[in-house]
Structure 1
């Protein structure tokens, strides 16, 4: 608009400025009635802040609209724009979506337009100029709305990032076994409600995001530096809340096909031991059966027997020394027969069924073993050592 086309004469501008407080008050009153979610927000300091923001926005518009040389609705003045941006951030901090604020803008634009246009006409603005005036009002509101949306989005992004960092720090503190006081304080900073138990899950990094999507929303994910893990290990650690009993069965189903290793449930402040168990299973090479996750609760014997691989190898060598003179083939058959005989407590039919041989074959092989071991197969200590040595198959 050129200076000649500027319909905001000094008289119109003065009249509108004089009405500004009353228009701001009516605008706020209409917002309280038509946007119920703001009823509480308009009380106290927040209410005064919003009223000031309304006055700032209206004053900014008048300054823009009555500027020499006309008004450019695409360039609202900085203070009003900053105020709208701050309002959007405030809504995000209060945990409210943008719907209420955008609704307030619409109500405010309508009420302000109604009263300001009446004032402008009463002060001498030509009726044919009202369309241009309306265009300026609603374009200005669009700009303020966009600024508030930007502020809201920025606050959500910032607060979300901060919370994710707090959650990662909490997970790291749990995994390193931090003091109870520090754990509780970290949980409060992360706005995280502690569960009864946490269960550690180790799985390849590419599977972590998909797993998180189907697990409890309170599940923690550790950062990149995992205590005790090899630096090159590309694994994620998840700490899943309350996954015991039926919850554990559901957890194992959810992790099917993800190459996961699942530790035992532990009180949440003691979840480091769950992580240690799962990590130990990985380090010992416990492999899943098919797509099923490795459940350390049903692999305890393997974990115990493989805890010291060198000691187990020495035990095998020591207790199986009577077989050293045999060739590889005969030795392997007698070892598997002895293992089955120990695990089935000497029940020949069970041994035969497991080995897919005739019971007489089992009897023959046990005869050979008794010749080689002598009365040691009747010695409880020897039987214990043989059971430990042969209870878990060689990795």
Structure 2
């Protein structure tokens, strides 16, 4: 049975006395809620407290209008009570209280209201059958009011969530666009996103993003990205812990940078992903530097290794390997021999060939740098 379909008939005198009790009854309900629901202990000290108290009085008034079978036009009072409960639910969501706390408050309100109103009904001679119907009316009405409050809470939560997500998406866009510091600060404030000290860009396959996010800070920003990867901007995270989180997800972390400069981290991560770097861009910096400009690297190799061009491919490869090992081991012949699995005398012979081809340039720092990069 819905509250509007009730069969209760209360005498005008009973309704009048119950209505006179409403201020006192509302205070009793509020006191019981404060005592029994921890989330409400401090709720009545601010502006929201008056809103809650008003909603309680409005709900009680709507109930007595319904119980007294007033004119059809008076149904507006019950509609106002339902709207009041709906708006109360929205306010509670904004205050950060859960639907569990809200429903507990309604249950306590029903209990206190039934205790007081039924006592008044007994004084006015209500029989057992009428009291039973009256009890049904009380709890059906409370169910409807609490349902309206939960609906308001859910709507506010969903709306707030959608609005905040749009603001977070806009913040991420501005970060990737390299917006000014003032624009970024304003966008962060609007989104309710606490400014971190640093951000780290993380690329992860779209299908694993959800699993990766579970192990990251709550305020991580998510950005849809093309080419099968999702982009995450992770605030203030220990790099060792981040890399452990990414270990089993084919994800890649860019450098950790000042939060307004996260575009640098994103660009490096994207470039490293294209070069096949795994997990950590910072473990592959030489590789990234070498391949930052592939055309320039190809030209450098052609220029630095030009003295070997006249040789047969097999001889060219052997001398190039020897020259690489010689550069890496700083000319220590025995170490070069071990690295190449050849006799030191072979190294001496090959280095003689290289000196014939390069002449004094092998002692020139610029040439040594060019060869090191070309052969890396």
1:139 is matched with which residue? 140
1:325 is matched with which residue? 310
From 50, 53, 65, give the equivalent of 2:52: 50
Distance in 2, matches of 1:44 and 1:202, equals 45
From 271, 277, 285, give the equivalent of 1:287: 277
Distance in 2, matches of 1:351 and 1:7, equals 105
From 229, 239, 248, give the equivalent of 1:235: 229
| Shift of residue 223, structure 1, vs aligned partner | 4.4
Distance in 2, matches of 1:92 and 1:151, equals 8
Q: Is the 8 A contact 1:263 1:274 kept in 2?
A: yes
| Shift of residue 148, structure 1, vs aligned partner | 1.8
1:345 is matched with which residue? 330
Matches within 5 A, 1:81-120: 81-120=82-121
Partner SS, residue 42 of structure 1: helix
How many equivalent pairs are there?
Answer: 368
| Shift of residue 39, structure 1, vs aligned partner | 4.3
Tell me: CA distance 1:179–1:79, structure 2 relative to 1, closer, same or farther (3 Å).
same
| Shift of residue 108, structure 1, vs aligned partner | 1.4
Distance in 2, matches of 1:184 and 1:330, equals 61
Q: TM-score, normalised by structure 2?
A: 0.87
1:227 is matched with which residue? none
Q: Is the 8 A contact 2:8 2:130 kept in 1?
A: no
Any idea what the Cα deviations from partners look like across 1:150-173, whole Å, max 9, x if unmatched?
222222222222222222222222
| Shift of residue 37, structure 1, vs aligned partner | 4.0
1:174 is matched with which residue? 175
1:190 is matched with which residue? 191
**Runs of at least 5 residues in structure 2 that lack an aligned partner in the other structure:** 72-76
From 314, 321, 325, give the equivalent of 2:299: 314
Distance in 1, matches of 2:46 and 2:349, equals 94
Any idea what the Cα deviations from partners look like across 1:262-293, whole Å, max 9, x if unmatched?
2222222222222222233234x1422xxxx1
Any idea what the Cα deviations from partners look like across 1:108-135, whole Å, max 9, x if unmatched?
1112111211222222322332122112
Partner SS, residue 222 of structure 1: strand
| Shift of residue 329, structure 1, vs aligned partner | 2.9
Tell me: CA distance 1:345–1:274, structure 2 relative to 1, closer, same or farther (3 Å).
same
Q: Is the 8 A contact 1:11 1:124 kept in 2?
A: no
Tell me: CA distance 1:50–1:375, structure 2 relative to 1, closer, same or farther (3 Å).
closer
Distance in 2, matches of 1:203 and 1:48, equals 49
| Shift of residue 68, structure 1, vs aligned partner | 8.1
Where is the helix percentage greater, Structure 1 or Structure 2? 2
1:217 aligns with 2:208: no
Tell me: CA distance 1:344–1:85, structure 2 relative to 1, closer, same or farther (3 Å).
same
Q: Is the 8 A contact 1:168 1:223 kept in 2?
A: no
Tell me: CA distance 1:280–1:15, structure 2 relative to 1, closer, same or farther (3 Å).
same
Any idea what the Cα deviations from partners look like across 1:326-373, whole Å, max 9, x if unmatched?
333332222222112111111223223333334333333333333333
Partner SS, residue 255 of structure 2: strand
Q: Is the 8 A contact 1:64 1:77 kept in 2?
A: yes
1:366 is matched with which residue? 351
Matches within 5 A, 1:375-394: 375-391=360-376
Distance in 2, matches of 1:379 and 1:41, equals 78
Distance in 2, matches of 1:260 and 1:275, equals 13
Partner SS, residue 334 of structure 2: helix
| Shift of residue 25, structure 1, vs aligned partner | 3.5
2:10 is matched with which residue? 8
Matches within 5 A, 1:293-312: 293=279, 295-312=280-297
Q: Is the 8 A contact 1:15 1:123 kept in 2?
A: no
Any idea what the Cα deviations from partners look like across 1:198-256, whole Å, max 9, x if unmatched?
222223222222221112223222345xxxxxxx423222222234xxx2222222211
1:272 aligns with 2:272: no
Q: Is the 8 A contact 2:9 2:67 kept in 1?
A: no
The RMSD of aligned alpha carbons is 2.8
Distance in 2, matches of 1:143 and 1:248, equals 52
**Runs of at least 5 residues in structure 1 that lack an aligned partner in the other structure:** 70-75, 225-231
2:29 is matched with which residue? 27
Distance in 1, matches of 2:21 and 2:248, equals 69
Tell me: CA distance 1:86–1:374, structure 2 relative to 1, closer, same or farther (3 Å).
same
Any idea what the Cα deviations from partners look like across 1:43-99, whole Å, max 9, x if unmatched?
464333223212221222233334389xxxxxx953322222211111110112233
